Structure 1
Amino acid sequence: MTRKITHQTGFAAVELTIAAPIMLLLILVAVDFGRVMSESITTTSAASSSTGYGFIHANDLEVAMDQVSMNSMAEKESTSLTVNQGEAKALNIVTERLCRCYDADVFNDGGTLAEPTAANCALTCPDEMEVYIQTSVTRDFNSLSNFLHIPSDVTINRVARYRAQ
């Protein structure tokens, strides 16, 4: 039997040299995407748990909100997050009580009600006062790489708002 000579020595090495950087880039992008999604879910959970605590413990206007406990609930939910270099905490947390006056006439006529604000909590409403507990959580995400068209820093903002009254 005779063996056919094909002159294809070294083609596998050339293919690997071309394909390896592309494969590594795709893997790096997939890992970064997974990291940002994980941190986004954790940030959302932190905002929700803090607001849930405030909803249970501070929904009455006469009772002061326990912002320290609400912040600690958010921090407990975010223990898997690492503190970025140059930052004091993994999350920036803002908790507040928001209010607005419900006006049935505006709502029934197809209009929209004004956004609730903290200043409205001091008002006296003619109909009904809607009270909300809100937590805003911000996290700075740092990417593993600085490739072209892939942002190296992304700010994750999550807001959870529950109606208490």
Structure 2
Amino acid sequence: MQSKQVQGHQRSGRRRGNAMVEFGLASSVIFLMAVGAVDFGRLFYESIAMAGAAQAGVQRGTFSPLASKDTSAILSSAAAGLSDVRDANVTTEQFCDCPYAPGVAVDCTTARCTGYGLSRLYVRVRVTKTFSTFGPWPGIPEETPIDLSNWVRVR
């Protein structure tokens, strides 16, 4: 009894390794895409953590005008939110302005705004970091500065 060969199931010698070559090419591309996705995920995660740290520091400084001067408490509150982020810099400042000239800084201790009274008091917390990727990516810089600020009016 003779067996019949089903057409299409017989492979020639030249086609035998095609699947392995295709798998090798596809898996390397998929691996590079996965590493790139992890790199961007790290960037977004650190940005979110830094924004939360800036918010925590500002909240600590807005308890009262006296609390807005306690820079060590503000900085420690912000630093507590940065436990997963390395090499981040946190700064804080207090500034004042008048309603008729927003953005123009005035002295917080002695300035009175005409027709308004005491100047408006703000607390600002700024968190900065230079993010480094795992390695060079075509068209993407290896280092990206992240600079996030948050400020809230105290009075």
Alignment TM-score, normalising by the size of structure 2: 0.84
Query: Are residue 125 (structure 1) and residue 130 (structure 2) matched?
Result: no
Residue in structure 2 matched with residue 87 of structure 1 by the alignment: none
Question: Where in structure 2 are the equivalents of 1:92-107 lying within 5 Å?
Answer: 92-103=89-100
2:21 partner amino acid: V
Shift of 1:123: 2.5
Residue in structure 2 matched with residue 69 of structure 1 by the alignment: 73
Paired residues in the alignment total 145
Residue in structure 1 matched with residue 128 of structure 2 by the alignment: 138
Identity %: 25
2:23 partner amino acid: L
Query: Are residue 50 (structure 1) and residue 54 (structure 2) matched?
Result: no
Residue in structure 1 matched with residue 82 of structure 2 by the alignment: 78
Residue in structure 2 matched with residue 30 of structure 1 by the alignment: 37
Shift of 1:32: 0.6
CA contact 1:136–1:160 (8 Å) conserved in 2 = yes
Structure having the higher Rg: 2
Shift of 1:3: 3.9
1:125 partner amino acid: C
* Greater strand fraction, Structure 1 or Structure 2: 2
Residue in structure 2 matched with residue 21 of structure 1 by the alignment: 28
Runs of 4+ in 1 over 6 A off after TM superposition: none
Alignment TM-score, normalising by the size of structure 1: 0.79
* Higher RCO (C-alpha 8 Å, min separation 6): 1
- Deviation readout 1:105-139 (Å, 9 max, x if unpaired): xxxxxxxx43153x442432113322111111101
